[in-house]
Amino acid sequence: MIAETLSLAGEKIKLRPFTLEDAPRVQDLVSNWNVASMVARIPHPYPDGGAEEWISGHRERRAAGEDWPFAIEVGDKLVGAVGLSRTESGPFEIGYWIGEPYWGKGIASEAARVLVEFAFDILGLDHLVSGHFKDNPASGRVLIKVGFLRSGEEKRFCLARGEEIDCITLKLTAEKVTR
């Protein structure tokens, strides 16, 4: 079992497990419509206590090997989240969100790269999947930078928008990783 306290580092960022002390900051960042509307599983308005509930389930899901959520820190400031979640069909999917004040600074790309290395080098996975809403091409650029290739299109439900949204799907195999 990989330690609960596992932290991963990039050049400008650190990935670490969330703690309940992070809940107010998470609440603040994901309560922004511009963030929530680009992520499938973030409701809007974000409910009071939602961050505590989300974080409190991390340890159990990590221990079960279902999820690997990480807080993204720049300096000592929480700026977003990145993680791996097992899909219903089996492979792990990478997902992330970044607080709007931190968009366009390369943070998501670096966090995705560090997490992809973790997935292949430490967890020993052979491939990952991901997706982004068609109206969020910046997210697609993040995934392509780390080597993901477009694999198709589908509809995905967005909690914040309350509807099915066109989504581009992508896949990355261990031998195609851009390092």
Write out the DSSP string of 26-94.
Answer: HHHHHTSHHHHTTSTT--SSPPTTHHHHHHHTHHHHHHTTSEEEEEEEETTEEEEEEEEEE-TTSSEEE
Does position 179 have pLDDT exceeding 60, yes or no? no
pLDDT computed for residue 175 by the predictor = 78
Q: Show the domains of the chain with their CATH numbers.
A: 8-176 (3.40.630.30)
pLDDT computed for residue 69 by the predictor = 96
Q: What are phi and psi of 42, to 5 degrees?
A: -110, 120
Structure tokens at 96: 């992330």
The model's pTM is 0.94
pLDDT computed for residue 174 by the predictor = 87
Across the strands, what pairs with 84?
68, 94
Residues 107-121 have pLDDT tens digits of 999 999 999 999 999
Residues 72-93 have pLDDT tens digits of 999 999 999 999 999 888 899 9
Q: In terms of pLDDT, which residue wins out, 96 or 1?
A: 96
Q: Are 58 and 175 in contact (CB under 8 A)?
A: no
